[in-house]
Amino acid sequence: MKNQAECHFSWLVAILFAALSIFHPLTVKAQVSSGTITGTVTTVDTVPLASLAVGVYRADDESTRLKAVRTNTAGIFTLTGLPAGNYKIKFFTTGINYVGGWYKQNTSPPASAVATFGEGNIITLTSTAGADVGETRLDLGLQIKGKVNDTSSPSNPIAGVYVQAYRNGVWERTSDAATIIADGSYIISGLRAGDYTIRFWAYQTSYTTEWYSSTTPTNTVPDATSAASVAAGSININAQLSTGGNILGTVYDKTGTVPVVGALVTVYDNVSPYTFRGFTTTLATGTYTVRGLPLTGNYLVQFYEKYVNNVGTGLTEWYNDKSDRASAAADFGSVVVINQATGYIDNINATLDRGPISGKVTYKTGSPVVGMLISVYDSNQVLKLSTTTDTKGQYITGELPAGTYKVQFGTASWYNGKDNFNEANAVQAGAAGINAIIEQPTLLFHVYNILLMKKHCTAADCQ
């Protein structure tokens, strides 16, 4: 409870802030993208490594590479156009037998490359100065190599399989895939000493994907006792793959007759942890074939119409007309079993009629609106789903059945710049690019709220 003098004081403070905002507007300094990070990459024998890719990342975000350049013939790289801030850089050694990784300065120069993002050093750029990280020397890598043949015909090599090395224990991929060439041979280079789990990924061949085991190759992820240990030089690991089974079908749009081109079809085990088994995309006819699946498995199949340059609905579902994996796994009719006699099962079809709504919310300045509530209503103005925008201002709702919906941004704005539910434009389930641009709150906006409070304030009761 306030007395009248306090009310008048609040009112005067509000007027003062309003005046200050007019005569002394807030100034926001824009970041100038002019900073540079430069350095040199060599071998331990100080031989320059030319044409080696170097990427730069924000120091708090390992997932997004901001830009990348290649070293010149002297091993020198220069990353330009970076605003002031904290960064980390990574060296990529694809195709050469040197150990890449994240930049780390040692107790004394030169620097080296370390395995994990967390171990890497932060490089700080100011608005007035760049950074020269000096020389980084990369160690010679270790190798895993061998040959892959057909189980039923050991003298028959298999081409087109990817062999991948993962660091044992944390299932971290540590090398680029090595494609087996025509004679069945492969080589994975640039490895650190340690234990690795090896996967022979027979993507879209007629063979099953298998993992290396010290006893017998397995089509399930092996335990740590089957890891391949690389200590020096190289080791040989050979494999024999078995012929697998196929799942076939057709994907249609909501009409049930028009084929969906380029839809992603993914197959998982129907056993926790629902191991990924294979994927493909639909052809111009909407048909697909996922190959090389173990004949004895029980599978769940997911269908997703991908966004390509914002074209496509983003509709997704699981066979047989299920909205999520849990409901598919719980339904006997949705579990796919391959006919072991024929080696395939056909007519695992889908009609895509459900999907999320997605978009982005920004201020008029272009900066993202973080944490805004997004609400989706059906035609009867019943709330169906809600979510919030992420740090980039982006949002994506859960799956929605086929139909039209209206989207509310915050508590006042509706799509497409409308003020209420009745005026808002309706959108389809699966719609992308449902964006909004809103006004950024100002100091005057807050002053207005104070003045509004003063309007309802009395001498006896001012709140």
pLDDT digits (tens, 9 = 90+) for 416-435: 999 999 999 999 888 899 99
Please, where are the H alpha helices in 291-442? 325-329
Once rounded to an integer, what is the mean pLDDT over residues 333-352? 95
Say whether pLDDT at 100 is over 80: yes
Taking the C-alpha atoms of residue 364 and residue 24, their distance in angstroms, rounded to an integer, is 22
Residue-by-residue DSSP string for 16-41: HHHHHHHHS----PPPP--EEEEEEE
* CA diameter of the chain: 98
Residue-by-residue DSSP string for 189-244: EEEPSEEEEEEEE-TTSSB--EE--SSS-BSS---GGGPEEE-SSEEE--EEE-B-
- Asked if residues 314 and 355 have their Cβ atoms less than 8 Å apart, the reply is yes
Q: Which residues pair with 172 in a beta bridge?
A: 167
Confidence of residue 13 (pLDDT cuts 50, 70, 90): very low
Query: In the chain, where does the domain assigned CATH 2.60.40.10 lie?
Result: 35-138, 142-241, 245-353, 356-438
pLDDT at 371: 93
pLDDT at 97: 92
CATH class for the region spanning 245-353: mainly beta
Q: Would you mind telling me the total number of residues written for the chain in this entry? A: 463
Question: Percentage of the chain with pLDDT > 70?
Answer: 80
pLDDT at 462: 43
Q: What is the dihedral of CA 218, 221, 227, 228, to 10 degrees?
A: 60
Confidence of residue 314 (pLDDT cuts 50, 70, 90): low
Confidence of residue 22 (pLDDT cuts 50, 70, 90): very low
Question: Percentage of the chain with pLDDT > 90?
Answer: 49
Q: Which range, of 130-134, 237-241, 437-441, averages the lowest pLDDT?
A: 437-441
Of the two residues 366 and 300, the one the predictor is more confident about is: 300
Architecture of domain 35-138: Sandwich (2.60)
Q: What is the dihedral of CA 218, 221, 224, 225, to 10 degrees?
A: -10
- Asked if residues 38 and 77 have their Cβ atoms less than 8 Å apart, the reply is yes
Say whether pLDDT at 439 is over 60: yes
Say whether pLDDT at 312 is over 80: no
Top mean pLDDT of 44-58, 153-167, 188-202 is at: 44-58
Token readout for 372 is: 């805004």
Once rounded to an integer, what is the mean pLDDT over residues 36-65? 96
pLDDT at 31: 39
323-340 pLDDT, tens digit each: 788 889 999 999 999 999
Query: Helix, strand or coil for residue 259?
Result: strand
The CATH number of domain 356-438 is 2.60.40.10: yes
Nearest CA among 66, 67, 71 for reference residue 40: 71
pLDDT at 263: 92
Once rounded to an integer, what is the mean pLDDT over residues 101-115? 91
Tell the burial category of 288 from Cβ atoms under 10 Å away from its Cβ (0-12, 13-18, 19+): buried
Once rounded to an integer, what is the mean pLDDT over residues 102-114? 92
Once rounded to an integer, what is the mean pLDDT over residues 69-78? 98
Architecture of domain 142-241: Sandwich (2.60)
Confidence of residue 250 (pLDDT cuts 50, 70, 90): very high
183-241 pLDDT, tens digit each: 889 998 888 888 888 888 888 788 998 888 765 556 655 555 567 788 778 888 888 89
Once rounded to an integer, what is the mean pLDDT over residues 83-99? 93
pLDDT at 159: 86
Say whether pLDDT at 118 is over 70: yes
pLDDT at 24: 42
pLDDT at 215: 59
